[in-house]
Amino acid sequence: MDGSPLTLRPVTMADARLLHEWRNDPDTRRGSRQTEAIGWPQHEAWLAAALADTDRVLRIAEAGGEPLGVLRADRRTDGWELSWTVAPRARGRGIGTRMLSLFVAGLEGRLAAVVRKGNLASAKMAAAAGMRLQDDAPEDGFELWARK
């Protein structure tokens, strides 16, 4: 990052390879609900469907034209469920907290995120975005963070 401001832009199919690479990064997989690697055809089909879904918002965080992470919001009956990935080369620099805070500033209603227990980076991001630990999530090994 060259000191440029952090911005968010819509995800497009042109981002598919980059997102696939980030999704299959070993650290990303360890923190995800689905820990197995995702094949290219499955990922490409998922992204096409995700981009067509009017109840889903996908954004790439960038600075100086360099992609630094991806954010997702899925509309629920009472607000949004959030998910994010910080690019492997951008981790440990506070970028995740900044990109999530920027992203949630444009969302109204309840915000929630399911975070793997022990994923301190994601818990820190959720807290910085105004979410608080609520309880264990329905899935074993995860906790629910939310902002009303």
Q: Are the CB atoms for 71 and 84 separated by under 8 Å?
A: yes
Q: Closest by alpha carbon to 69, among 46, 101, 110?
A: 101
- In tens digits, the chain (148 residues) has pLDDT values of 567 899 999 999 999 999 999 999 999 999 999 999 999 999 999 999 999 999 999 999 999 999 999 999 999 998 999 999 999 999 999 999 999 999 999 899 999 999 999 999 999 999 999 999 999 998 999 999 999 8
C-alpha span between 112 and 121 (Å, rounded) = 16
Which residues touch 28 (CB under 8 Å, ≥6 apart)? 22, 85, 88
